[in-house]
Amino acid sequence: MEDREILRKNQKSKAKSRNWPSFLLIVLLAVIARLVPHIPNFVPITGLALFSGAHFKNKISFLIPLAAMAISDIFLGFHNTIPYVYLSFIVIFFIGRLIKKTSFLAVASASLISAVLFFLITNFGVWQAGSMYPKTVEGLLQCYLMGLPFFRNTVLGDLFYSFLFFYGFKFLPSATSEVANRPDRIG
């Protein structure tokens, strides 16, 4: 029994070490996508957070989207609503945990729910932490109203990148054996 336990732990350790190149590649791609010129709010972080939650069971895998944000924010700048933005991606990561089987409906639904949550959380942060809107119900509603033009691009970007991560990852050589036939998570 003891030999089996040692073998099982060794196999888990090897699987985890195989995942680090995938983690790093995904973070690098997300950082680059945020840094190159792009349509406002058409970014990969929500898709990355959903994908990380769905596919990586490592206890610290919620840091994948946060690492991409933090690295790119070094170049883009930090602002007073960062806690709300990062919190929204942690929530979205856990929405990804709810995806048991990759399907069009599951990915699209999770992506749309995530876009709405991101919109609600971050615009609340703009209202609460900023000085642009009065701290009243009317001010909060005005903040949400002013954020609506950006919401369209958020939805489109979240859908695009969610499908890109969930279906594109299958074509990475190191991931094919781990994810292609995935009923369970890797890591």
Global model pTM greater than 0.75: yes
Percent of the chain with pLDDT over 70: 81
181: pLDDT strictly greater than 50? no
78-133 pLDDT, tens digit per residue, is 999 999 999 999 999 999 999 999 999 999 999 999 999 999 999 999 999 999 99
13-27 pLDDT, tens digit per residue, is 444 456 678 778 889
Which is higher by pLDDT, 174 or 112? Answer: 112
Number of domains the chain is built from: 1
Residue 61 belongs to a domain: yes
Residue 12 belongs to a domain: no
Residue 5 belongs to a domain: no
Look up the domain containing 122 and give its range.
17-178
* Contact status, residue 46 vs residue 91, Cβ threshold 8 Å: no
Q: How far apart are CA 79 and CA 129, in angstroms?
A: 10
177: pLDDT strictly greater than 60? no
Residue 142 belongs to a domain: yes
Residue 114 belongs to a domain: yes
Residue 3 belongs to a domain: no
